[in-house]
Every structure is written in structure tokens, then in C-alpha cells.
Amino acid sequence: MSRRIALVFCLILLVGTPAAAQNPLMSPPNDPDANKQWVIRQLGLTCAWEHLTGSSDVTVAVIDSGVDMNHPDLVDILRTDGFDAVDGDDDPSDENGHGTHVSGIIAATINNSKGIAGVAGGGTRILPIRVMAADGSGSNQDIIAGIRYAVSKNVQIINMSLGSMLPLDSEDIVAAIQEADAAGVLVIIAAGNSFVPLPNFAFGVEEFAMVVAATDPEDRKTDFSNYGNWISVSAPGAGIYSTMPTYDVYMTRDLPAEERFNKNYDQMSGTSQATPVVAGLAALLFAQHPDWNADQVRAEIEKTADDISAQNPIKRYGPVTYFEPSNLGTGRINACNALGGPIKGSAAAVGGPEAKSNLIKLLGFSAVMLVVLGGLTVFLVRRRKQNSRPAAVPAGGFAPPPPIQYDQAMQQPPMYDQRNLASQPIVGSTPPLSQSYAPPSAAPATGGPAWGKLTVVRGAELNKFYLLRENQVFIGREAGLDVAISGDSTVSRRHTILYRDPRGIEIEDAGSSHGTKINGIPVQGRQLVRPGDVIEVGQTHLRFEG
């Protein structure tokens, strides 16, 4: 009799269990650094992961600086048939650090009690393709070779978190991207970190690829992100915590000491980081809908994005409009919406028909299990003639898991580490700074009477002011300058020059990496500065008072 019950029990387990999505995660991930990943909260990833966390049937080719092939959070998902276009061999090991960081954002193994959780970290494969040298430099020819290699390996997605400061004559790269698109591959490209309304490294690429802008924890466009009507969507790109090589590379060893990154894990910012967030969501959709093509996946990502126009209002300079909300694509991506909405709770709270069906099946299975376990308990009690009251059998249902817990830095816009990938053409930049207020402080004053003042209205040293006394004033990160800015590595050592001239106060960019702006408009040549103007150097904004 007991054998029959056991057989029935096994049959119910085999037949009655609802068909589940691939490796869903019904509770917060146990990765210890998940609380450093504000992207989890922002995109509703815990909701998306209830549907699935990824599939080994989906591959993302990361065309970048390579990958640490033995990183403990990546080793299980890296394909071994990668390619090194720089050295012309089959060892795509990362010598820079950027590619490892990008790969972790996409697919670092989720729920393995190590490090972080990738957006599609439930088994999504990474095909590493190295096209950038240790210092971040690369050639069009190597990028093209990388694209064509990825297509030959039947990947579903290509991630290209690379580019240059200004658009180049890259018709050959666009042609390679067009070939990938024609082959059914979804190509996802970084918008660039040049602060300007210009394409990244290739004109006209948006017809064949998704171009991604970067946003901050408040869904505002990051200052460094390029923007324009060629943007497909936006995604988190400020202070993104991810994997770094476990050994020394250019970014952990060769950058100036104050700009170096940590080994193993660290945060980085840029449209380079926003792009793999979108690639990870695309990988989830390909896993959820294996019959979908690249156009369908792209359309779903764009259609389900959150409207962030209220956080990014129109900006004008006089009669000229230089920013519109549409310059950020259809909005900031939403993984929960894209995967079908939440599936926990009552049927009324469930996002869609598929989720309702899964919940009903699960509840039905729980009821059957309760009956079977109850019957089995009664049988055993009678057989053994036990007079004691049987222990209660818990119901087979489940309580909704608690939401993922974030530390205080996650609940408020965090103060990010102000280090930056300085090399080009790989894109990397720093995030917006915290807006917490501090008492005003003055920089040490030298020289004669002050003819002007600069006050930090946004930046790491909020409300600090600098008195201007010399006829030529340098603004930069270098210690000893008249306006020495600290805590913002997007500021060059000598970033901007102010001139006290008989014609008025003039400003000129000093050849900085990211340029100088006045009231959001890039400075070209020498321009007049008027009281009340806001000078933007890197992520730091200074208001001029004459």
C-alpha cells in the first residue's frame, strides 16, 4: 500500500508540476554585492527574474577589450571559442578591464553566493571578442573583424560598448553592423560620453542597431551621455558595480593612482555600462521567446520602457532648443514590464495571462500536494497505530518573498567613486554627483583683490567657492591651480581657462577630455562669460559671479 502511495506521489510530481520558465528566481539573489547594484531596483529585475534569469541557449558577443577568462563570477558562462582580433589568436583575455566589467553587467552568475548578479545571469553565455589593446585603443579593421566573427558564431546579440569622442568616418563599421543586422543579430551600441548631441563613432547606425543613452538613479540623463533622435532607449549608466579582472591590467595598474580601479569588482560609469544593461534584457527576452527575432526583441524593449520625459524637460538657450525628452529614445528600459509584469500575489495583481496561468497551476499543484501528503500521513498513523496527534503538514503554497534590501546608499542617489576610464575609444565616464548640501567653504585665497567668484552648484564640493584674483585663472584637477577641483575625475588636470580681459571675462577649454560648457552649451574657442552663467567642467558645475 505504501509503495502505491509513493508511486502516486512520484507521478504527481512528474505530471502535476506546472511547466516553469527557465530557472526563475522567486526570492532576492544571494549574491553578497547585489545591494550595491541600484540597477536591480530601478529596472524591476527581481520581478523579471520571477519569469526567468537567462538561458544557455542565448549568447551575447561582447566586442570589447576581452574578458578575464577565469573570473569566478564569469567562468561558468564564458564560451571557449572566443577571438582576439588584436593579436590574431584565440585568447581574448582582458588586458584593460573594460570588457570584463561590461560582461559582468550582462551575465555575472546570479544566486551563486559570489559577487554580483548579472541582468541575465541565469546561464546566458558570453562570447568574448577582443578588439581593444591594453590601453583601450583599437582599429576599425579589428572591430569589423570582431563583428563578422560574432556573426559566424551564431550569437543572438552583439554588445559594443566602444566608440570615440566624436563621430568618425566609419562607413565600413556601419556596413559590418548592417551585415550583422541582416543575419538576424541584435546589435546594441553605446551612445558615447562626449556630452554632446552627436552620434558616437558611426553615422546612420541607428537603422541597424539599438543606440543606448545613460541615465542616473533619478532617471535623469547623465551629463556625460550623448543624446539625439538616433537614441533607441536609455538605461542606467552611473556608478554601475560589476566584475573587474582578478589580475592587474591597465585600469588597475597603469592609470594615475587616484584614478585606478579595484581588482575583482568595482564601479564604473558611462554609456558603456548602460549598453550591457540593455543587452542583458535582450538576452532575457530571447530566452523567454526563443521564436522571436531581433526586431521583435528590440520592439518589446522600446515599447515597455518607462517614460522619463518629466525628469528630462526641454532645454533651451535663448530661442534654440538643444535638448528634448525624445533625445533619450522611448525612455528608460523596464525589465519587469518587458518580461510580462509581476507574477506574485492575487490574480488581479498579476501582470498578464501567462503569469496568471502559472500562478493558478502552482496553487492547484499545492492543493493536490496537500491532499496527497495528508492522506499519506493518515495512512502511516493508522498503520503504526499511533495515538498521538499527527504533526500538521504545511500547505504547499508560498508566501511572497520579501523585497530585496538595499543599504542607505541605495535608497538615496549614491555618492559614487569618482574614478574614470580615461582611455579612448573605449567609453567610460563618471556619474552625476550627490546633491546633498554642505555649508559653504572657501578655497585658500592668494594674490590681490578678487574680481569674481565661482561657486560649486553641483559636484562633490557643493557650495564651495573660489575667489578669482589673477588675470588668467586655470580650472582643473591639478593641485595648486586657482580653481583646484577634487572629487571629480571627469575634470582634466587643466580643464578650462578664464581670462580677465578689457573686453570682459572670457572662457576657453584647455584641451580637456570632455570639453567645457556654459549653460549646457559646449564652449568653442574663447567666449564671453556673464554673471550668473554656469560653467560645466566634467560633472562639476560652477556659477560665475562678477
Which residues are annotated as catalytic? 64, 98, 272
Q: Are 494 and 514 in contact (CB under 8 A)?
A: no
The SS3 of residue 27 is coil
CB 156 within 8 A of CB 286: yes
Q: What are phi and psi of 59, to 5 degrees?
A: -125, 135
**Contact between 197 and 228 (Cβ < 8 Å):** yes
Query: What is the Cα–Cα distance from 280 to 48, expressed in whole angstroms?
Result: 12
Sequential DSSP letters for 323-336: E-GGGGTT-B--HH
Q: For the chain, first and last CA: distance in Å?
A: 95
DSSP string across 72-136: TTTTTTB-S--EETTTTBS--B-SSSHHHHHHHHHHPPTTSSSS---TTTTT-EEEEEE-B-TTS
Q: Cα separation of 538 and 135, whole Å?
A: 22
Q: Is the Cβ–Cβ distance between 265 and 115 less than 8 Å?
A: yes
Query: Cβ distance 72 to 66 under 8 Å?
Result: no
The DSSP code for 253 is: I
Give the three-class secondary structure for 272: helix
Strand-pairing partners, residue 327, are none
Bridge partners of 159? 62, 188
Give 502: exposed, middle or buried? Use CB within 10 Å, 0-12, 13-18, 19+.
exposed
In which residue are the cell numbers 541557449 written?
Answer: 57
CA atoms of 205 and 197, how far apart (whole Å): 15
Secondary structure of the chain: what % helix, strand, coil (to 5)? Answer: 30, 20, 50
DSSP-assigned letter for residue 314? -
| Residue keyed to cell 575625475 | 489
Contact 60, 106 (CB under 8 A): yes
- The owner of cell 499543484 is 365
